[in-house]
């Protein structure tokens, strides 16, 4: 039994190490898909239509597709690198929960016996938790990420595609990334659909074998991404509406009322407010820990 436990721990360690090493590979893969898509939509099909199309309507459609494509592409890249580069939020060193002196409460760290209990007491208030891997206290809704090797505030999940944890401080960018990715991939799939149908027609298709293969590949990739991202987008919108995370959706017990649910409108307003309140890493972390935005 001890041997199997040691083997499992070793396998998990190797898996986490492998995920860390995928960082630059996944970013290059995303940029590669964007490059193939750009070549198929702009260079191969719609940019030449601005000069080669015989009708005004064809030129207008090509101009509209190119304008929407570039606008969505800029927003997609901005939100993507915002998720990649923004710290999801970590627990400050030697963090201690604030004692409520007005209610006459003592410092909750004076009695270390409470640290062994995780979850909530009979009144529904969260108790202090202790991370044995980080060797420090952690706030409510905080989880340890084995890939990043630290505790993340309001951790949703570790995303391989963005090479980062999705937590309190970058969740808004992750949601925007899903939104713009869905719009961009849907636009590309619809704009390349006539060219994809032409592959199965009997008529002659203009273009070289290389450009035709690139168009075919770009359509298949973007259609697959549009369908998969749509599912993730619907899931995360439902999570935001209930003020919960992916981890909490699996961990929390079935109850008539989730204690962090402020109502659908206020939950979305809370996420919107984070776009303006989180101006710096230090200020943002303090905001999450003390003001109730993320906890």
Measured on CA atoms in the order 251, 282, 268, 186, is the torsion positive or negative? negative
Give the C-alpha distances (Å, rounded to integers) separating 18 from 107, 148, 160: 42, 12, 11
- Helix pair angle (264-277, 209-241), 10° resolution: 110
Are 79 and 233 spatial neighbours (Cβ–Cβ below 8 Å)? no
Among 142, 145, 148, 159, which one carries the catalytic annotation?
159
CA atoms lying within 13 Å on the CB side of residue 163? 17
131 is catalytic: no
Tokens of 147: 């890939």
* Residue 149: partners with Cβ closer than 8 Å, 6 or more residues away: 133
Distance, CA of 78 to chain centre: 13
**Residues tagged active-site:** 159
């Amino acid at each position: 039994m001890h041997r199997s436990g040691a083997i499992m721990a070793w396998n998990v360690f190797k898996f986490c190490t492998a995920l860390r090493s995928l960082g630059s590979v996944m970013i290059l893969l995303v940029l590669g898909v964007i490059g193939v898509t750009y070549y198929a939509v702009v260079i191969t099909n719609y940019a030449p239509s601005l000069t080669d199309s015989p009708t005004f309507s064809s030129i207008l459609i090509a101009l509209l597709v190119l304008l929407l494509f570039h606008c969505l592409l800029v927003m997609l890249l901005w939100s993507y690198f915002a998720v990649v580069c923004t710290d999801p939020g970590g627990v400050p060193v030697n963090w201690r929960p604030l004692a409520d002196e007005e209610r006459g409460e003592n410092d909750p760290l004076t009695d270390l016996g409470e640290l062994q209990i995780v979850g909530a007491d009979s009144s529904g208030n969260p108790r202090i938790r202790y991370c044995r891997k980080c060797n420090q206290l952690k706030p409510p809704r905080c989880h340890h990420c084995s890939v990043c090797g630290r505790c993340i505030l309001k951790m949703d999940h570790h995303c391989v595609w963005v090479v980062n944890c999705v937590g309190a401080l970058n969740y808004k960018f992750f949601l925007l990334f899903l939104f713009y990715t869905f719009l961009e991939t849907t636009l590309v799939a619809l704009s390349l659909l006539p060219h994809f149908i032409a592959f199965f027609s009997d008529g002659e298709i203009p273009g070289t074998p290389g450009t035709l293969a690139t168009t075919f590949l770009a359509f298949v990739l973007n259609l697959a991404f549009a369908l998969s991202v749509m599912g993730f987008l619907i899931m995360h919108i439902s999570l935001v509406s209930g003020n919960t995370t992916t981890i909490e959706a699996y961990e929390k017990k079935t109850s008539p009322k989730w204690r962090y649910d402020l109502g659908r409108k206020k939950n979305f307003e809370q996420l919107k407010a984070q776009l303006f309140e989180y101006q710096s890493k230090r200020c943002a972390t303090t905001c999450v820990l003390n003001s109730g935005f993320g906890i």
